[in-house]
């Protein structure tokens, strides 16, 4: 960016909802997204939920002319679903996987299998760090069992940005954060990483009311889920941060509103977010986050830490019950082994059980043992990570409170 006083950057962000065999009219929509991106000529495109590598390859071929640089981030069983297309060279990429991401046995939620991550690309017009990401989904707002995991992810993301952002002049983050604007996770991310919300900062806005990206008007959204929110909810964000001697201004923010131009379907079940940013070099280096915000930040970090603590205790209970189940199954197996040995040695009178039931019971016990031991290991890791995050947050609180 040296010697170039102002840069106008147009960014496109979309959760594409492109799950093979499951998402409706997927191929048609991916084609549509590709056509629109070609026509509109953004500078940077951040996509999520492109689960099929074939879809990425098709997009790459189609967009080769207008976005010669791209990267697909691989992780987890299914993949992270993240990819980035850019008009400017991508110099380096990095993948940061969250340490917690749901439960492998919650097959119907599937988050664990995606290996949710932050895909970081460096470059575009170096030094610019752009992150494409998705956090754990919220399946039930009233009883959100995944809140601690989502908070750990938000915290890790914020820590990651704090530690990597010094290498860049500007950090850009686009993605489906699966959190409402006033949720503690968003406040944590904005406060602790010092990110600004393009929607809140935009001089001009055009699109769905309140910048919502999950709206009842979209023909693919689940209407019943949006009943408490008749206007929809805003869960897709473009956030940014300028380091050192740069300033970023959001000139315009847009969201799509339903069917794409000339068709009867929208791009996805989410609306796309498009921002036009002005990046300018300043004469004077801008100072760090002002100390006046520290008090509010203390509250946010403390609130997040409380929620992580709730998750920690739940994980400890699950670790305990799975461990107890494993011990019980092991005891049953040992008892059976003793009975079998006793019968073999001719100690007992007659064979106490029919052979078949005896075997069935043994296999059942073995199955439970393996399953419960696996769960115990998983929840032990969960406890460690939640505890570790709680520690880190405590350290952050101490540092904030000790600040002059």
Window 70-99: contact mask with its own copies (x via CB under 8 A): -xxxxxxx-x----------xxxxxxxx-x
356 part of the interface to its own copies, by CB under 8 A = yes
Residue list 45-74, contact with its own copies (CB under 8 A)? 71-74
Residue list 371-390, contact with its own copies (CB under 8 A)? 377, 380-381, 384-385, 387-388
Residue closer to its own copies (CB basis): 81 or 174: 81
Least Å from the CB of residue 381 to its own copies: 6
Residue closer to its own copies (CB basis): 10 or 384: 384
CB 202 within 8 A of CB 162: no
331 part of the interface to its own copies, by CB under 8 A = no
Least Å from the CB of residue 298 to its own copies: 15
180 part of the interface to its own copies, by CB under 8 A = no
Write b or e for each residue in 160-177: b if 16 or more Cβ atoms lie within 10 A of its Cβ, otherwise e. bbeebbeebbbbbbbbbb
Least Å from the CB of residue 200 to its own copies: 26
320 part of the interface to its own copies, by CB under 8 A = no
Q: What is the DSSP-derived secondary structure letter of residue 286? A: P
Residue closer to its own copies (CB basis): 97 or 196: 97
Please identify every residue annotated as catalytic. Answer: 270
What is the torsional sign of CA 164, 165, 168, 171?
A: positive
Least Å from the CB of residue 77 to its own copies: 5
359 part of the interface to its own copies, by CB under 8 A = yes
Residue closer to its own copies (CB basis): 299 or 391: 391
- Kind of pairing between the strands at 204-206 and 90-97: unpaired
Residue closer to its own copies (CB basis): 198 or 329: 329
Rounded to 5 degrees, what are φ and ψ at 141? -70, -35
| Non-local CB neighbours of 306 within 8 Å, separated by 6+ positions | none
* Radius of gyration (C-alpha) of the chain in whole angstroms: 25
Which of 59, 83, 122, 238 is in the footprint of its own copies by CB under 8 A? 122
CB 90 within 8 A of CB 121: yes
Task: Tell me whether the omega of the peptide bond preceding residue 216 falls within 30 degrees of 0, making it cis.
Answer: no
Least Å from the CB of residue 121 to its own copies: 10
Q: Cα(85)–Cα(74) distance, rounded to whole angstroms?
A: 15
Applying CB under 8 A, the site for its own copies has a residue count of 47
CB 313 within 8 A of CB 35: no
Q: Cα(161)–Cα(173) distance, rounded to whole angstroms?
A: 10
Residue closer to its own copies (CB basis): 344 or 356: 356
| Non-local CB neighbours of 307 within 8 Å, separated by 6+ positions | 147, 148, 151, 184
Give Dmax over CA atoms of the chain in angstroms. Answer: 95
Window 206-235: contact mask with its own copies (x via CB under 8 A): ------------------------------
110 part of the interface to its own copies, by CB under 8 A = no
CB 12 within 8 A of CB 272: yes
Least Å from the CB of residue 86 to its own copies: 13
Residue closer to its own copies (CB basis): 109 or 387: 387
Least Å from the CB of residue 210 to its own copies: 34
Q: Cα(103)–Cα(113) distance, rounded to whole angstroms?
A: 9
Least Å from the CB of residue 377 to its own copies: 5
213, 216, 221, 223 alpha-carbon torsion, rounded to 10°: 140
- Kind of pairing between the strands at 236-242 and 170-176: antiparallel
| Non-local CB neighbours of 365 within 8 Å, separated by 6+ positions | 329, 330, 332, 333, 336
Which of 34, 81, 102, 115 is in the footprint of its own copies by CB under 8 A? 115
Interface contacts to its own copies, rule CB under 8 A: 71-77, 79, 90-97, 99, 113, 115, 120, 122, 159-160, 162-167, 355-356, 359-360, 363, 370, 377, 380-381, 384-385, 387-388, 391-392, 395-396, 399
């Amino acid at each position: 960016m040296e010697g170039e006083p102002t840069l106008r950057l147009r960014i496109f962000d979309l959760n594409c909802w492109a799950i093979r065999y499951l998402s409706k009219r997927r191929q048609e929509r991916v084609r549509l997204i590709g056509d629109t991106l070609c026509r509109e000529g953004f500078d940077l495109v951040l996509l999520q939920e492109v689960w099929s590598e074939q879809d990425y390859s098709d997009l790459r071929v189609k967009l080769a002319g207008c976005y010669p640089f791209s990267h697909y981030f691989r992780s987890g069983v299914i993949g992270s679903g993240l990819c980035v297309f850019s008009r400017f060279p991508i110099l380096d990429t990095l993948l940061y996987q969250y340490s917690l991401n749901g439960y492998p046995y919650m097959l119907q939620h599937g988050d664990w299998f995606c290996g949710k991550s932050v895909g970081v690309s460096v470059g575009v017009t170096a030094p610019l760090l752009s992150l494409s990401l998705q956090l754990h989904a919220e399946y039930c707002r009233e009883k959100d069992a995944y809140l601690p995991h989502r908070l750990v992810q938000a915290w890790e993301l914020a820590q990651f940005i704090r530690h990597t952002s010094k290498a860049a002049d500007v950090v850009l983050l686009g993605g489906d954060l699966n959190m409402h604007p006033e949720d503690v996770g968003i406040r944590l991310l904005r406060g602790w990483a010092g990110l600004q919300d393009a929607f809140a900062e935009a001089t001009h806005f055009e699109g769905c009311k309140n910048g919502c990206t999950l709206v009842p008007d979209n023909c693919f959204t689940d209407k019943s889920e949006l009943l408490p929110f008749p206007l929809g909810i805003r869960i897709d964000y473009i956030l940014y941060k300028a380091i050192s001697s740069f300033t970023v201004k959001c000139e315009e923010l847009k969201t799509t509103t339903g069917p794409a131009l000339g068709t009867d379907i929208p791009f996805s079940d989410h609306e796309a977010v498009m921002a036009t940013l002005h990046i300018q070099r300043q004469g004077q280096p801008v100072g760090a986050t002002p100390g006046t915000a520290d008090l509010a930040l203390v509250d946010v970090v403390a609130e997040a830490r409380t929620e992580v603590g709730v998750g920690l205790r739940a994980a400890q209970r699950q670790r305990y019950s799975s461990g107890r189940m494993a011990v019980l199954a092991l005891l049953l197996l040992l008892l059976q082994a003793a009975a079998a040995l006793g019968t073999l040695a001719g100690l007992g009178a007659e064979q106490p059980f029919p052979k078949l039931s005896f075997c069935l019971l043994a296999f059942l016990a073995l199955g439970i043992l393996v399953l419960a031991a696996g769960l115990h290991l998983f929840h032990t890791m969960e406890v460690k990570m939640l505890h570790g995050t709680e520690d880190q947050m405590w350290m952050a609180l101490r540092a904030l409170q000790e600040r002059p």
